[in-house]
Amino acid sequence: MKVGVLALQGDVPEQRRGFERLLGADSVLSVRRPDDLESVHALGMPGGESTAISQLLDDAGMREPLERRIREGLPVLATCAGLILLSRRLERVPGLREPRPMELLDVTVRRNDYGRQRESFEAPVHVEGLVGGPFPGVFIRAPRILATGPEAHILARRGDEVVGVSAGRVWGLTFHPELSDDTRVHARFLSESLGWRL
């Protein structure tokens, strides 16, 4: 089994490590070109700058093949900028250049919505199906999920707020599970999407 990490911009090494700590380095592939997509059974879409990643997807000729693979059933674990790129609706933020989202997750998202002084924080998150209590959610200039539509399944909450959704095997989280020591989110994603067992 091979898991790819979209390696155009952002926290690619951290995303790789997120999967490597469960699967080993040989099972994780950096995805930079359309061909790379053919050999992976699941994909991580990292945090970073969604506008930059969006542009690089176009430059690399990756947008259309990536969208097609996801629509055909490729499981995706998208965090932060990754979630922004999969969202159906983005609320415009004055002064920010807009990425072009793929509209695969039925959510409305506003970027950088937790304010400057709280650009980064950690908070307990309740993730569906995880045993062993709340997950330590690391939020870095995180987007906020303002609304979810009927096609979005709610996967994670921080208090009353939705911080993670899924649509089939596509997961989008506003926090970064690859930046905490806790491997439960990755383990659950791999077991739900690929039947992987530790």
Alpha-carbon distance of 153 to 133, in angstroms, equals 20
Three-state SS annotation for 116-129: HHHCEEEEEEEECC
Is residue 110 within the footprint of ligand GLN (CB under 6 A)? no
Tell me which of 140, 152, 165, 170 binds ligand GLN, using CB under 6 A. 140
Q: Select from 122, 126, 130 the least CA-distant residue to 184.
A: 130
178 is catalytic: yes
3-state DSSP call for residue 91? coil
Residue 76 interacts with ligand GLN (CB under 6 A)? no
CB under 6 A: which stretch of 61-69, 140-148, 153-161, 187-195 binds ligand GLN?
A: 140-148
Tell me which stretch binds ligand GLN (CB under 6 A): 21-29, 34-42, 126-134, 136-144. Answer: 136-144
If one asks whether residue 47 binds ligand GLN (CB under 6 A), the answer comes out as yes
**Is the CB of 4 or the CB of 143 nearer to ligand GLN?**
143
Dihedral (Cα; 196, 14, 92, 169), 10-degree rounding: -10
Considering the complex, state which of residue 50 and residue 166 has its C-beta at the smaller distance from ligand GLN: 50
Residue of 93, 105, 118, 116 lying closest to 162 (CA atoms): 105
Q: How far is the CB of 30 from ligand GLN (least distance, A)?
A: 18
Q: Which residue has 């997750």 as its token pair?
A: 105
Q: How far apart are CA 107 and CA 124, in angstroms?
A: 22
Query: Interface residues for ligand GLN in 9-38 (CB under 6 A)?
Result: none
Kindly state whether residue 111 participates in binding ligand GLN, applying the rule CB under 6 A: yes
Q: Tell me if 112 contacts ligand GLN by CB under 6 A.
A: yes
Q: Give me the torsion for CA of 182, 188, 189, 190, rounded to 10°.
A: 100
Active-site annotation holder among 119, 178, 186, 192: 178
Is 119 catalytic? The answer is no
For the bound state, the minimum distance from the C-beta of residue 12 to ligand GLN, rounded and expressed in Å, comes to 12
Kindly tell me which residue out of 141, 153, 157, 184 binds ligand GLN, with binding defined by CB under 6 A. 141
Starting at the edge strand found earlier in the chain, the sheet holding 87-90 runs 87-90, 105-110, 144-148
Residue 153: active-site member = no
Q: What is the set of active-site residues?
A: 80, 176, 178
